[in-house]
Structure 1
Amino acid sequence: MEGSFMALTIREIDTARPTTKQYKLADSKGLCLLVVPSGVKLWRWRYRFEGKEKMMAFGEYPEVGLKEARELHSEARKQWSAGIDPMAERKAVVEAKQNEERGQQRQAENSFESIARDWWKWWHVGKSPRHAETVMLRLEADVFPAYGHKDMEKVTPMDIRDVMLGVEGRGSRDVAKRIHETTGQIFRYAIAHGKATRNPAADFKPRDILLQAKSENFARVDVKDLPELLAKMDDYWGDAITRFALKLVAYTFVRTSELIEAPWPEFDLNNAVWVIPPERMKMGTTHIVPLSRQAVEVLRALKLLTGNGRLLFPGAMDKTKPMSNNTILGALYRLGYKDRMTGHGFRGLASTILNENEFDEAHVEMQLAHLKRNKVAAAYNHAKYLKQRTVMMQWWADYLDAQLALGRKSLAA
């Protein structure tokens, strides 16, 4: 029922006062303002659709003013005149918007970045904080900007490839390989948790797209030059802590990073053993280093300098972080061995000399942590050949001391 009434004015609306019963102020073409006893004023339109009487609301005055109410009413009448139920249409629009928002929320929850962050929270437990932070920073810097926003099911092998090639292009081939590895781990996690159905990183290997890496040969002196090197290292005039690092990297022939990042709790000096946890090892398994008598002596002397802290070799500026990876290399450079010797070079020397002196190759490789072991085997085998390796490590330390004595004689001559 639309009746013919005079159009409302702002003054009439503002001066309308509530009564004990609700009443209506009619505008044109069926639009009216319902004034309820509480004083609230509501815009309403009564209409009939398919034989049923309906009441459509347009909001509350003054939040919805007279002009806006008429515009809303006019649009609704156009739909009604076209055979469309305006209330049903509005409901459909609201539901469509809600469905779209829910879809966007589901997509955000199932985006690569969202799943990757969930994976990281699960994965980083037990990992070294430094390594875990590096993995996340790599994702944030290179991966998330490229396809972090994408739904897991929409990430393609080409997305991964493009990021890897871009990283390789700036001279970071190893980082490109790690991006491929990490992305694959994230997808396996997603599949296991019902967030994805396939792993696009499994469609290719890094070597399928990256340029072949040059073989990495760590510089090392010839065996005949070892005595002079040891004598110069023993007389190193620089920082005492660096001199101890040089001695320990020679006695233990571990990887440089495994030494300089080592915390004191890993060492049992009374039992002459160093146990490196899997999260700090390249192969991801526990590694035992039998400590020679000489190595224990160096460690006890070092403990007087750095034993109050957590790290054997704290940084010069920040004691909570290890010394720079270039400290040992820089010391060797200052001794005159630039491009001739690295900390890593002692691993090659140890391998050559121990094998030449008829130590079992398996024992040597185990001590070098070259033997790949699955996690189940590693739980039982990290102490494999320990008795033989203990004897071998003491022989190696004695051998180095003998070579040091020869070097001193040579320099004194």
Structure 2
Amino acid sequence: MEIIKDKMDAMTVRRCLDEIGKREVEWRDNMCGGLSIRVRKKSSSWILRARLHGHMSTFTVGPIQSVTLLQARERAQKAKLMLKSGSDPREWLLAQSSGVSIIPKTESAMTWREAVTKYLDFIEQNRRKATYDDYRKTLLSQWFTPVSDLPIKSVTKTDIRQIQEAAFNAGKSAMSNKVLRNSKAFMAWISEQSWSEIDTNPVASSKSIEGAKTHPRTNLPTRRQIGEVFLKIQNAPVHIRSAVALLMLTAQRIETVISARREDIKTVDRSMVWDISPANMKSHRSHLLPATRMMEAVIRQAQVATADLVFMFPKTRLRRAGDDGNGHIASNPVRKRISSCGFTPHDARRAFATYMSDIAGAGMSDIKLILDHAEGRGSDVTASVYMQSQFITQKRAILDHWESFIIDCIYLANGKTELPAYLEF
């Protein structure tokens, strides 16, 4: 049986349906550990591989024809929680497929900390690492000590309010708001879990303390800082230099850039196009970007340097024992090169939106086409494909304007009208 491991999407499920009767394959989801689609000669189903009483077992989650990817992940997460508590989830999983409610009651005395731990397990499997770290540092912080050992169903809106006030009175205004924001998300999730015996979110209607403010997210890189990035990476290894330059030239998220594959670079009407896979986008949608002159230069350098490898920006050293070495570069090397100039990779997106609006006169819809915000795209699948084709010329014009702006920034930082050699490959 062929084994494939990758991020799943709706197209993955469709491909697996097409493989029924043709070959046997197991497609493993790297977003939810242990979850797979197993295709056999006459059927295809979701399965979960996990340990029960110390032994590896296989649990049937449901047929892929009637269970969606989201439902499969949710059921798998709940089944894993049951396994951690020593319960066999087979009967519960069977009930989900048959529509019969079988709700385990073994978790009713769970404490706040225990419930938070389960929530963090879910977040770690389904959300970005930064999101997981944010929730972990907040919900397991000293501020929640007063409720840490209380039964989760006994924690009230007043308890959370008191934690907010304690942070606010200690001069931690932003933390006060973060306590509320993360508590709302956590309790909303808890109220949806059958084992929690909590039907409603007790803090759903809670509000921030008057006068509490969050940290402003207004760091806008100067033109000189933007230019300095391209000058400072001149002598960096090709895969790092190209990744940093591509991020700056396209204003894409750092994870989108570092996970770029060689197969994502295509030719459309004799022009290079970066066809970003939905798996590499936060929006989980395909995103097409036409290459400008400098984009094409750094991409071609990466292609030459990484010939025959899957990723354009491959890692150069193993991260752990058993690592096959066939992954992409970590985010830190890219992040550090940009941070050395006084701003973050996400600030580069802010710079694109701000300068393109102020200098190039780009409208918000134009900016969203590049940043891939929801308002720049249609919700209908057919319309989205059509819009991708129609907007390619518009996107190229926007990126050309941005590239011209970057060239001016480099001239400013360099003190002369000369570009680094790698940008004129």
The alignment's TM-score, normalised by the length of structure 1, stands at 0.53
* 2:198 counterpart letter in structure 1: A
Q: Please state how far the C-alpha of 1:390 moved relative to its aligned partner.
A: 2.6
Aligned to 1:80: none
> 2 CA distance for matches of 1:150 and 1:171?
26
Contact 1:276 1:287 in 2 (8 A): yes
Q: Deviations over 1:122-176 (max 9, x none)?
A: 5544434564465345433457644232223310223323444556678876665
Partner of 2:204, secondary structure, is helix
Partner of 1:290, secondary structure, is strand
Structure 1 residues 273 and 166: alpha-carbon distance in aligned structure 2, compared to 1, 3 A threshold: farther
Q: Please state how far the C-alpha of 1:252 moved relative to its aligned partner.
A: 0.6
> 1 CA distance for matches of 2:135 and 2:213?
23
* 1:213 counterpart letter in structure 2: T
1:292 aligns with 2:291: yes
Paired residues in the alignment total 293
Structure 1 residues 314 and 330: alpha-carbon distance in aligned structure 2, compared to 1, 3 A threshold: farther
Aligned to 2:325: none
1:155 aligns with 2:155: yes
Q: Deviations over 1:3-30 (max 9, x none)?
A: xxxxxxxxxxxxxxxxxxxxxxxxxxxx
Q: 1:322 is matched with which residue: 310, 314, 331?
A: 331
Q: Deviations over 1:59-102 (max 9, x none)?
A: xxxxxxxxxxxxxxxxxxxxxxxxxxxxxxxxxxxxxxxxxxxx
What are the within-5 Å matches in structure 2 for residues 99-110 of structure 1?
A: 109-110=109-110
> 2 CA distance for matches of 1:125 and 1:382?
29
Q: Please state how far the C-alpha of 1:293 moved relative to its aligned partner.
A: 4.3
* 2:395 counterpart letter in structure 1: M
Q: Please state how far the C-alpha of 1:196 moved relative to its aligned partner.
A: 1.0
Aligned to 1:201: 203
Q: Deviations over 1:220-278 (max 9, x none)?
A: 335xx79xx648825744424453244213321124x4456x32349711252343658
Q: Deviations over 1:207-232 (max 9, x none)?
A: 3356223543223335xx79xx6488
Contact 1:274 1:288 in 2 (8 A): yes
> 1 CA distance for matches of 2:391 and 2:118?
42
Structure 1 residues 403 and 217: alpha-carbon distance in aligned structure 2, compared to 1, 3 A threshold: closer
What are the within-5 Å matches in structure 2 for residues 55-134 of structure 1?
A: 109-128=109-128, 131-132=131-132
1:392 aligns with 2:394: yes
Partner of 1:270, secondary structure, is strand
Q: 1:411 is matched with which residue: 399, 408, 416?
A: 416
Partner of 1:393, secondary structure, is helix
* 1:367 counterpart letter in structure 2: I
Q: Deviations over 1:256-307 (max 9, x none)?
A: x4456x32349711252343658963xx554625141442442342355567
> 1 CA distance for matches of 2:169 and 2:303?
44
* 2:416 counterpart letter in structure 1: L
Greater fraction helix = 1
> 2 CA distance for matches of 1:165 and 1:276?
44
**Root-mean-square deviation over aligned CA pairs:** 4.7
Q: 1:268 is matched with which residue: 264, 270, 274?
A: 264
> 1 CA distance for matches of 2:263 and 2:146?
44
Contact 1:314 1:320 in 2 (8 A): yes
Partner of 2:276, secondary structure, is strand
> 1 CA distance for matches of 2:255 and 2:232?
24
Aligned to 2:368: 365
What are the within-5 Å matches in structure 2 for residues 207-356 of structure 1?
A: 207-208=208-209, 211-213=212-214, 215-221=216-222, 230=227, 233=230, 236-240=233-237, 241-255=239-253, 257-258=254-255, 262-265=258-261, 268-270=264-266, 272-275=273-276, 277=278, 281=282, 286=285, 288-294=287-293, 295-305=295-305, 308=309, 312=313, 321-323=330-332, 326-331=335-340, 333=341, 344-345=347-348, 347-353=350-356
> 1 CA distance for matches of 2:263 and 2:170?
40
Structure index of larger Rg: 1
Structure 1 residues 382 and 286: alpha-carbon distance in aligned structure 2, compared to 1, 3 A threshold: farther
* 2:260 counterpart letter in structure 1: W
User: Mean alpha-carbon deviation: is it higher for 148-157 or for 356-365?
Assistant: 356-365
Structure 1 residues 193 and 411: alpha-carbon distance in aligned structure 2, compared to 1, 3 A threshold: closer
> 1 CA distance for matches of 2:391 and 2:136?
38
> 2 CA distance for matches of 1:277 and 1:398?
24
Partner of 2:301, secondary structure, is helix
> 1 CA distance for matches of 2:189 and 2:154?
16
Structure 1: tracts of 5 or more residues without a match: 1-104
Contact 1:164 1:177 in 2 (8 A): yes
Structure 1 residues 276 and 144: alpha-carbon distance in aligned structure 2, compared to 1, 3 A threshold: farther
Contact 1:244 1:298 in 2 (8 A): yes
